[in-house]
Amino acid sequence: MKRAMWLALSSLSLAVLVRRVARRQTQHFDRQWSARIGKGGKLADDLSRPAQPKNVFVETLLIACLPRLQPGEWGAIVSAPLLAGLVGHALKRGVPRKRPGVARFSLQGRESFPSTHAATAASLAFATAHVARQHGASRWTVAVATGLVGGVALARLRAGAHWPTDVVAGALLGIASAEAATLLLQPGSPASGGP
């Protein structure tokens, strides 16, 4: 039940944010918070490198190769980032939005909303935390996953690659993807209480 609640909350929050961004109702907020957060340059780029979608793919495969994973656990870990990436790229096409530092990016990577770095990182982190909890890990796994996602989000903001609402939407998409993958591929798993 708790999984379904988190899936519903994250999906509803994402839908509201998508609608507000599509109507350009977040521009003032984004500009104001981007100015407050500032820029981090090369260090921010380096910190967000592990969350690049191609790197998350490799990280996903490495985690999925861990021994003692059941087929449903393996499926949840592999499918969550894939789902986040697919939905994230579909949203980028449906809600086109230029990046704050558009001059730094190629024509292929100019869409900003949502942050697929944050989405794929969040989906992998939370799906892995769910599986780790089922194997007896403490509740701190969710706190660690949240910290990792927050670090990636902040690095993307400081790199000038995204607006604040982009990374929030990416994190929500990642949570929803992890919850959906866990619910669909591990229907009998115990709910461990939270993202």
- pLDDT mean by block of 10 residues, the chain; 195 residues: 80 90 90 79 68 71 72 85 92 86 56 86 88 80 82 80 89 92 72 47
- Model confidence pLDDT, tens digit, residues 164-181: 899 999 999 999 999 999
Burial class (CB in 10 A: 0-12, 13-18, 19+), 33: middle
Global pTM value: 0.82
User: Under a CB-based contact definition with an 8 Å cutoff, are residues 17 and 172 in contact?
Assistant: yes
Integer distance in angstroms from the first to the last C-alpha of the chain? 12
Distances in Å between the alpha carbon of 104 and those of 43, 62, 93, 98?
15, 31, 20, 12
pLDDT at 144: 82
In whole angstroms, give the CA distance from residue 157 to residue 89: 19
